[in-house]
Chains A and B, each alone.
Chain A
């Protein structure tokens, strides 16, 4: 592969029908090598010569900074719960960005979206970031108040919230890694076979894969089940985290929509993270011909829908509290946005809703590659501010006689706490950790789903109707 030619010898700016395009033209659909064999050979070549080595190293270093930050946080102790609010926000942010990104793979796989094929593996590889979620959670456990100090779903089962969240994040991690493993088996076998025999990790991942109809059937069914489980696990973990690390800590906060808001805003941030990684893979990872307009435009439509849902969910809660105006509800509004964390909330509101919606509503921005990428950067940043205003405020509330009394309205507002150096180290480390784990996984398994791209190639034809070229997509099921 040279810098000026793409796979299978197609010149840059030419599709496989030979049609020439201008230098800035972006193909709406991936331009794949002509035959399945050429496609496999091209992708195996890319997989065995991975790029983005610099990012891998830098993210690894940032991850180490984050580990040091965690040690500094733990050495600071747990006496003041307020000091752990920022850390909890980072934890929830990782859940919302990296761990929620595979949802696009899950959703498009279940709905059989034809444009998913080049991006589905990249989304799945975000499942590796669930390991970071587990690692971040363990130091946070002692900062969570015991179940006996507040009303709870756990009916005084001691250790319940801590252990329940631990089990759920472990389950999520297992499901995420299992999802990658199941999806990658056929590809690992293909890569192994093309590079001189199945050895090492490729052999482990491929197992006894022989591509029999039975194996394909089992794999497809397994992927459907794992996709459904992953979706349910993500929603469940969002439920537990939002309830146990936010709602139960604030007196009088009874907000059934909040777990749904947390999940929806998490999926929004997950989509944004995925779009950013797609861009990195396109721009620097060598997948310019695979990740084209379709792979940005279609997620951008979903991103816009989730941006509107962010507002809808937030507004649905706000209007009830605003109208109810009980002392408890006024307290909740002050803790989660209109009190000491007002500026954080306003920033989150602008970055999560107002600005991305204003951008994505315009066709020229949405139907482009830079537009969704810029909106995604804004949303990923906004997502952190959103988590900070929630968990910063929640962890800052005071106990009354060691208890969080839900029947007693909030008598004292939390104090706004600026993050200190260990907090910022944890934040930087979490960002680095997510990228590092993704890149590590991307070095072990193919970034493109070989079998799905091949399948897509077999099922896709082009045809001229009048003056328009149309794509014909086979729907075997």
Chain B
């Protein structure tokens, strides 16, 4: 990191803990706006539960609409944390330090939001417990061969793992906060920090736990979106029944999640004035990573499209024809490619763009628009293809209720992040301090070269 500034421990404490110890002037208005947006969703759910799923655009045969699209989208965003935190930790990428916490919290918030959507989509929300083995007397069991049963297991495992991951990395910071607060907050941080004293043994154990969790969460990370993809792929719906769906969904999720982290980092940098911590170097590194991720995503995307056409099966060709040539799906196809790959990767090839914060912000949003559309493009046309019986033909038109639900999910995630920022630092204080210890320079001839320490 060439732009890393020399900062004292006191400066790091001051700059990173102020959002927790004080309240920014914009914080309450931001919370109010997020809560109002979330309120739209609560209203929509209330209407839907009261009046039934008829208020949505769902029909026969399009049983899965915006709610499932949104579910897949948020599960995708949740892949940011592990990608950034776990993989970069295992690779010892130094630039990860200020990015990890926010990415992990984004994972937890987006995954919790995603988990709500299948529940809402059920209509009868109060029957969610049917996915658990519950009726021992009558020997009624959920069908464990159904991916709809695998889904909750995978998501709750990931949510548990991701929460542990956040908590594990928070421990040293909770200790710092405990020592700087009074009253109920002191009690809260004292309980949460589990007796953290910051002695070498505790740091060693925390380090080992971090490495272990990083390794253990990786299979869960991959399995979650794979299982979500199998919700679709194990069925025989044309254009869904494709072997590539699992890695294709996972890499798409990483593309979307890491872009989400870029968006969030820009907002955090501006909102908390963390210019010394989140530097253009970080965006440069994320941009480079995204070039590789986006290219892998395009590879799987093209494999999916090519093989749908290759087989020459009438139904597959029919769906693909609809996806590529019919309004509005053809337009979405164009947008997915242009906004998801051509413009972003074309721009990220230039160092000046990767280091320009506003460009990165705009492009990261562009990618996520494309990724949301991609999920819509994947899910709906497969269901609304023409069947032999005319009463099975239909098109999907989302209702206002579904649009409100999608809109409100962004409010929920933002609210989660805002609440977290009030209680915990969004940049890990101890990691920043450790990063300062690992900062070195070496002199070669007349030139000073930035360097890092490797054990």
Contacts and interface: CB of A to CB of B under 8 A. Distances in A.
B243 A406 contact: no
B246 A316 contact: yes
A255 interface: yes
A308 B219 CA distance: 9
Interface string A311-346: 011001101110110100000000000000000000
Contacts of A406: 311-312
A122 to B, nearest CB: 22
B233 A320 contact: yes
B247 A476 contact: no
Interface string A457-477: 011010101001011111110
Contacts of B376: none
A317 B449 contact: no
Interface string B221-233: 0100010001001
Given A320-B233, A470-B455, A258 B243 contact: yes
Contact of B311 (A114, A254, A321, A471): A254
B243 A257 contact: yes
A153 interface: yes
A399 interface: no
Contacts of B442: 459, 461, 472, 474
A312 B222 contact: yes
Contact of B303 (A114, A257, A308, A465): A257
Nearest to B93: A111
Given A153-B310, A316-B226, A256 B304 contact: yes
A257 B310 contact: no
Interface stretch (B234-242, B383-391, B412-420): B234-242
B300 interface: yes
Chain B interface SS verdict (over half): mixed
A472 B452 contact: yes
Interface string B426-455: 000000000000001010100001111111
B297 to A, nearest CB: 12
B247 A459 contact: no
A235 B300 CA distance: 12
Interface in A403-421: 406-407
A260 B455 CA distance: 36
Nearest to B234: A323
Interface in A127-163: 151-153
B444 A458 contact: yes
Contacts of B450: 474-476
Nearest to B453: A470
Contact of A324 (B222, B234, B300, B312): B234
Interface residues of A, number: 38
Contacts of B403: none
Interface string A385-427: 0000000000000000000001100000000000000000000
A470 B311 contact: no
Nearest to A254: B311
Contacts of A114: 454
Contacts of B350: none
A362 to B, nearest CB: 13
Given A257-B244, A406-B311, A319 B451 contact: no
Contact of B306 (A153, A257, A321, A326): A153
A259 interface: yes
A463 B439 CA distance: 13
Contacts of B207: none
A29 to B, nearest CB: 9
27 contacts: A151-B312, A235-B299, A256-B244, A257-B242, A257-B244, A257-B303, A260-B244, A260-B299, A316-B244, A316-B247, A320-B245, A323-B234, A324-B236, A326-B236, A406-B311, A459-B451, A461-B442, A463-B453, A468-B455, A471-B453, A472-B453, A473-B451, A474-B442, A474-B444, A474-B450, A475-B2, A475-B450
**For the complex of A and B, 7 pairs with smallest distance between CB atoms:** A256-B307, A256-B244, A323-B234, A316-B246, A254-B311, A474-B449, A317-B243
